[in-house]
Structure 1
Amino acid sequence: MSVPWALAAGIAIAAHGTPGRAQEGTVITHGNAQQRASGSTLEEVDSLPVIRPDFPVPDDPGMVFYLQRSTNSNTVVYAARFLYNGKLDPRQPVMAYWRRFNTTGERLPLKMIEDSFAFGVRARATDDPDVFTLYVVSYPERRAILRLVEPGRAELLLPVDGRRMRMRYAYVDVDESGLVPSVREVVVTGHDVQTGRALVERIQIE
């Protein structure tokens, strides 16, 4: 099984920095043989889980998705960008940036290496000016859909097991006990577009 959208967005094994600690801006790419998704399960639940209630939840304007990691509360926010008329900005319909909740909570841009190899997102236009396909730079093969719902509001949709999930957030469980950090599991949460039911995809990593 290939590495999924949220996994590629959020996991990284450091090529630099302090040994034994996961570093921001490092990534497992689809070509990395060290770890891969060994399978996943999709489950309907009564409500979306709050995996880390001690972590702040971002509420940024235009936010369509956010990513948390077990290493600390710093969060990557993916937010839609709009024109003056509420339409998606075709030059950059979505952007990714940090909320540094581990310190002051301030918003900071991704570093160049993070944008180029880890958390950065790229968009491609479709025949519909209100719809864009998105991919994370570290795994372009799995695509999500950014769709304008109404002026000034958009949603991010991900195909999962024959269904479409309106994405909410992902959580990456990182094991830092060894010399090199590794990923235990990735949890992707959202709602079924058709039924509205809460969905949880759990991706096992080996």
Structure 2
Amino acid sequence: MHSLEIMSATAFLLLFSLLFSPPKDAKSGIVFPVPSGVPNQLFYLQRDPNTNTVVYQLNVDRAGRLNEDEPVNAFWIRYDEHGERKELNFIQRKFAYGLTAEKLAADKFELKFAAYNKVRFFLLKSPADKAFHVYATIAGKQLQLERVYLRIEGGTFWVPNVKYIEFKGMNTATREPAVERVLP
């Protein structure tokens, strides 16, 4: 798990294409689908070597009240298996893609990925739209997360070789789209 701990006109066009076209891995040529139609979707995670996607969803009851014991539900959309929805298995939840939540205050939780603790994630209500979102500070910028991408090249099941982690979302200070990469 250690390795997971892991504007000129031209620049503007490059950033625009990164943010508004379907994500594509330049090396493998894989075009990653963007999940849609998921109620209360917070953000999603994609990684090599396939298009299967982990979706992180606000966990609310039928009345719309937040489950404070487990505020985030994570599950797969298995695009490689006809878009079937599947729960994370025990190993995926406990050692890789699962999140734990600690309540810090009313409507504020710190989230921790099972496999990555170098970046702090927070679930809280946005002052702008009064809805819950997940936030992280990357490269000195606070992002409202939309997508996390893990670039993996080789390694093993238990210790994949993560080349970088890419965070995509909205810069909360400027309200503009932002993409930031972190090396493991």
In the superposition, the TM-score normalised over structure 1's length comes to 0.70
In the alignment, what sits opposite 2:122? 145
Kindly state the Cα deviation for residue 142 of structure 1 after the two structures are TM-superposed: 3.1
1:79-136 Cα shifts (integer Å, max 9, x gaps): 11123443321121101111100112111111101111111101111222x2211111
Query: For residues 66 and 39 of structure 2, what CA distance do their matches in structure 1 show?
Result: 13
Q: CA RMSD in A?
A: 2.8
Query: For residues 91 and 186 of structure 1, what CA distance do their matches in structure 2 show?
Result: 28
Change (3 A) 1:110 1:177: closer
Are 1:58 and 2:48 an aligned pair? no
In the alignment, what sits opposite 2:143? 165
SS of residue matched to 2:183: strand
User: Retained in 2: the 8 A contact 1:69–1:174?
Assistant: yes
Kindly state the Cα deviation for residue 56 of structure 1 after the two structures are TM-superposed: 1.9
Which amino acid in structure 1 is aligned with residue 80 of structure 2? N
Are 1:154 and 2:154 an aligned pair? no
Kindly state the Cα deviation for residue 159 of structure 1 after the two structures are TM-superposed: 1.2
In the alignment, what sits opposite 2:27? none
In the alignment, what sits opposite 1:200? 179
User: Retained in 1: the 8 A contact 2:143–2:170?
Assistant: yes
Which amino acid in structure 1 is aligned with residue 42 of structure 2? V
Which amino acid in structure 2 is aligned with residue 58 of structure 1? P
Query: For residues 67 and 144 of structure 1, what CA distance do their matches in structure 2 show?
Result: 14
Kindly state the Cα deviation for residue 147 of structure 1 after the two structures are TM-superposed: 1.5
Change (3 A) 1:35 1:136: closer
User: Retained in 2: the 8 A contact 1:135–1:141?
Assistant: no
Are 1:186 and 2:165 an aligned pair? yes
In the alignment, what sits opposite 1:109? 87
Kindly state the Cα deviation for residue 70 of structure 1 after the two structures are TM-superposed: 2.5
In the alignment, what sits opposite 2:110? 133
Structure 1 unpaired stretches of 5+: 1-28, 38-42
Kindly state the Cα deviation for residue 143 of structure 1 after the two structures are TM-superposed: 2.0
Q: Which has the higher contact order (CA 8 A, sep 6+)?
A: 1
User: Retained in 2: the 8 A contact 1:165–1:193?
Assistant: yes
Which amino acid in structure 1 is aligned with residue 108 of structure 2? V
Aligned length: 166
Change (3 A) 1:131 1:85: farther
**Identical columns (%):** 30
- Greater alpha carbon shift after TM alignment, 76-85 vs 49-58: 49-58
SS of residue matched to 2:105: coil
SS of residue matched to 1:135: strand
In the alignment, what sits opposite 1:3? none
Query: For residues 181 and 112 of structure 1, what CA distance do their matches in structure 2 show?
Result: 18
Change (3 A) 1:112 1:57: same
